[in-house]
């Protein structure tokens, strides 16, 4: 079990503080590379899955680290019992201590034990493959057209209604694997309680050929249930008969009682279990919209790729372990350099939702300030995650990363092979040249002398221009090159970042698997909703909140 101890109590933590003060001026990428011709081979590792097209190269040589820093970071991981905590997760121990739950997304992509899967003891784990079979049969019947709507027509539109983990995973994966999708089966996602979200999607749907997936672990989430009720009302306006709901509404949930109360029969429910965290649920029944879009075999490939990375995380020594390396390098900047954010920059248009997805994955997991034993941390925990696909980001926010005042560690991701080699592969070569150039520019910058040489005589006339063109460099990055964006590769990439989050949470001593921080706003909103009818009901708020509600009440039509 994670020690739950404040991280500052580890000897390695104190040593890292000392190293940061004593070595900062020596950790200059230009010098580190000049003095070591083997730096790339020392600080890069390749993960290869058994499937030949799934491989990931992690180059972490452009980080502000040397052997001493790195070995102290690994000592930190050992002192914080990262290996034990990892093994506890795989064994089904209740590492989500505040909710007394196991954390077993790894069980969702685990093959049966006789096919090399991990042995995991927890109620529900032996039902995983039964639910996968249900997903397979159902998705195949919809995709083949044998599942018919209430007027006998096949389904041509799927609408997933869910929010947070019941939306972001399927949205990200369906976008990332669009290349493999069935183009005549349209997928839409409705998440926001803002009626615009549902209304705009319904304009594109036909009641006779639309399947609604109500995705909610708890089946109590206000946004999802309200959207699902409104979608059902829209459907019944046309279909009339309640019995037709069975052909057009299915549920993905752990709450069978609430699902049947909503009017969806248990035979149309795809189950999962309390040990599947919302933001780790795309591998579960929550992935039904993925299986419908890309087909069950591809969905299985996604699970297989994640499982291969799980095996790597479980068995590779810490020094060879990609999620551990990413986690430790991230802690170095987050806790010793004071970096506030971490950018995720995929040079693959299909991964344009990757950063959005890991905003929840990372920030809901590690946005905590109390350790498992209840102490307030006196160090930084989870970073702010942000980013977007390259090269769009270059023309938007990279200026600040290159020349701003903030340190922004960034992960660059790109495929060796594109799935769309248009114009003889020209686009991909240009894309990759940017993927290679940006980390290089960030690391090595441009000196005043180089600027002066470039400007020629102009330089002596315009000192300010010279200064504005200097790139200080020494900005750290990881570069991640994968072979190509197959379902298996995507599964491995997502698992890589999931386990990175796990390792960081273990070192910070926090519970990465609850999300108490989203509760207060929900409770207050429910209370305010009851007061919106009449001005006289608005009670118990500060003057600002009261003033805003009164303004709304006066001006609404």
Ligand X SMILES: O=P(O)(O)OC[C@H]1O[C@](O)(CO)[C@@H](O)[C@@H]1O
What residue ranges bind ligand X (CB under 6 A)?
163-166, 216-218, 221, 224, 278-279, 364, 515, 518
Instruction: List phi, psi (to 5°) of 488.
Output: -65, -40
Q: Which is nearer to ligand X, 13 or 219 (CB)?
A: 219
Compute the distance between CA of residue 20 and CA of residue 331 in angstroms, rounded to an integer.
12
The CB-of-357 to ligand X minimum distance in angstroms stands at 11
Strands 410-415 and 477-482: parallel
Residues 6+ apart with CB under 8 A from 455: 462, 465, 466, 469
CA distance to 15, 24, 94, per residue, from 71 (Å): 11, 16, 30
Q: Which is nearer to ligand X, 367 or 473 (CB)?
A: 367
The CB-of-228 to ligand X minimum distance in angstroms stands at 10
Q: Taking the CB of residue 284, how many other CB atoms lie within 10 A of it?
A: 31
Q: Which is nearer to ligand X, 163 or 506 (CB)?
A: 163
Q: Are 289 and 474 in contact (CB under 8 A)?
A: no
Catalytic: which of 301, 364, 499, 500? 364
Q: Which is nearer to ligand X, 518 or 548 (CB)?
A: 518
**Measured at CB, which residue is nearest to ligand X?**
278
Q: Catalytic site residue 364?
A: yes
The CB-of-128 to ligand X minimum distance in angstroms stands at 18
The CB-of-122 to ligand X minimum distance in angstroms stands at 20
The CB-of-516 to ligand X minimum distance in angstroms stands at 10
Exposed (0-12), middle (13-18) or buried (19+): which is 543, by Cβ within 10 Å?
exposed
Q: Which is nearer to ligand X, 164 or 393 (CB)?
A: 164
DSSP H helices in 24-103: 29-34, 39-42, 67-79, 82-91
The CB-of-404 to ligand X minimum distance in angstroms stands at 31
Under DSSP, the state recorded for 162 is -
Catalytic: which of 395, 461, 554, 557? 395
Instruction: List phi, psi (to 5°) of 273.
Output: -135, 160
The CB-of-462 to ligand X minimum distance in angstroms stands at 52
Strands 55-59 and 157-161: unpaired
> Which residues is 44 bridged to in the sheet?
59
> Which residues is 413 bridged to in the sheet?
346, 480
The CB-of-309 to ligand X minimum distance in angstroms stands at 22
Q: Which is nearer to ligand X, 191 or 342 (CB)?
A: 191
The CB-of-343 to ligand X minimum distance in angstroms stands at 23
Q: Which is nearer to ligand X, 164 or 295 (CB)?
A: 164
Concatenated DSSP letters of 279-292: GG-TTSGGGHHHHH
Exposed (0-12), middle (13-18) or buried (19+): which is 252, by Cβ within 10 Å?
buried
CA distance to 141, 215, 246, 411, 536, per residue, from 150 (Å): 15, 22, 9, 48, 48
Compute the distance between CA of residue 306 and CA of residue 303 in angstroms, rounded to an integer.
5
Exposed (0-12), middle (13-18) or buried (19+): which is 257, by Cβ within 10 Å?
exposed
Instruction: Check the CA dihedral 200-169-175-60 and report its sign.
Output: positive
Compute the distance between CA of residue 357 and CA of residue 278 in angstroms, rounded to an integer.
12
Q: Which is nearer to ligand X, 49 or 163 (CB)?
A: 163
Buried (b) or exposed (e) across 498-526, using 16+ Cβ within 10 A?
Answer: bbbbbbbbbbbbbbbbbbeeeeeeeeeee
Q: Catalytic site residue 380?
A: no
Q: Which is nearer to ligand X, 227 or 321 (CB)?
A: 227
Instruction: List phi, psi (to 5°) of 361.
Output: -55, -45
Give the three-state DSSP class for 160.
strand
Strands 44-48 and 55-59: antiparallel
Catalytic: which of 257, 522, 526, 550? 522
Q: Catalytic site residue 395?
A: yes
Q: Which is nearer to ligand X, 280 or 333 (CB)?
A: 280
Compute the distance between CA of residue 106 and CA of residue 120 in angstroms, rounded to an integer.
10
Compute the distance between CA of residue 230 and CA of residue 322 in angstroms, rounded to an integer.
45
* Side-chain-side CA neighbours of residue 48 (13 Å): 3
The CB-of-7 to ligand X minimum distance in angstroms stands at 25
Residues annotated catalytic, as ranges: 364, 395, 522
């Amino acid at each position: 079990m994670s020690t739950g101890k404040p991280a500052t109590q580890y000897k390695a933590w104190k040593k890292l503080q000392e190293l940061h003060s004593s070595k900062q001026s020596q950790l200059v990428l230009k010098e580190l590379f000049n003095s070591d011709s083997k730096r790339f081979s020392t600080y890069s590792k390749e993960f290869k899955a058994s499937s030949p097209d799934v491989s990931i190269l992690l180059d972490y040589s452009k980080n502000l680290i040397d052997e001493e820093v790195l070995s102290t970071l690994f000592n930190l991981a050992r002192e914080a019992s990262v290996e034990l905590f990892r093994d506890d997760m795989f064994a089904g121990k209740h590492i989500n201590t505040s909710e007394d739950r196991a954390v077993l997304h790894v069980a969702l992509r685990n093959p049966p034990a006789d096919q090399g899967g991990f042995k995991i003891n927890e109620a529900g784990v032996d039902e995983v493959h039964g639910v996968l079979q249900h997903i397979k049969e159902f998705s195949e019947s919809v995709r083949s057209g044998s599942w018919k709507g209430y007027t006998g027509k096949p389904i041509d539109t799927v609408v997933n209604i869910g929010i947070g983990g019941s939306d972001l995973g399927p949205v990200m994966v369906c976008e990332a694997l669009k290349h493999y999708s069935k183009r005549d089966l349209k997928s839409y996602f409705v998440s926001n309680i803002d009626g615009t979200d549902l209304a705009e999607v319904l304009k594109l749907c036909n009641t006779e050929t639309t399947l609604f997936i109500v995705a909610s672990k708890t089946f109590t989430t206000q946004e999802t249930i309200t959207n699902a009720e409104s979608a059902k009302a829209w459907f019944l306006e046309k279909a009339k008969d309640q019995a037709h709901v069975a052909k057009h509404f299915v549920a993905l949930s752990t709450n069978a009682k609430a699902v049947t109360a909503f009017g969806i029969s248990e035979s149309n429910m795809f189950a999962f279990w309390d040990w599947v965290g919302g933001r780790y649920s795309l591998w579960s029944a929550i992935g039904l919209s993925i299986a419908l879009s890309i087909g069950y075999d591809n969905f299985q490939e996604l699970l297989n790729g994640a499982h291969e990375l799980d095996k790597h995380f479980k068995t590779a020594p810490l020094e060879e372990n990609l999620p551990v390396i990413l986690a430790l390098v991230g802690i170095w900047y987050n806790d010793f350099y004071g970096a506030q954010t971490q950018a995720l920059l995929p040079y693959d248009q299909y991964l344009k939702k990757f950063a959005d997805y890991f905003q929840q994955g990372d920030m809901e997991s590690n946005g905590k300030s109390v350790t498992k034993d209840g102490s307030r941390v006196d160090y930084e925990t989870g970073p702010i995650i942000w980013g977007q696909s390259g090269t769009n980001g270059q023309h938007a926010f990279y200026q600040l990363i290159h020349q701003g005042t903030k340190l922004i560690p960034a992960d660059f991701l790109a495929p060796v092979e594109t799935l769309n080699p248009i114009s003889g592969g020209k686009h991909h070569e240009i894309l990759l040249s940017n993927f290679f150039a940006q980390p290089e520019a960030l690391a090595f910058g441009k000196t005043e002398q180089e600027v002066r040489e470039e400007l020629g005589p102009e330089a002596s006339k315009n000192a300010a221009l010279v200064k504005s063109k200097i790139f200080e460099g020494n900005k750290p990055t990881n570069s991640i090159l994968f072979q190509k964006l197959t379902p298996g590769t995507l599964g491995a990439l997502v698992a890589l970042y999931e386990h990175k989050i796990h390792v960081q949470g273990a070192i910070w001593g926090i519970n990465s698997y609850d999300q108490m921080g989203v509760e207060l706003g929900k409770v207050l909103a429910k209370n305010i909703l009851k007061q919106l009818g009449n001005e006289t009901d608005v009670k118990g708020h500060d003057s600002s909140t009261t003033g805003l509600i009164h303004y709304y009440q006066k001006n609404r039509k």
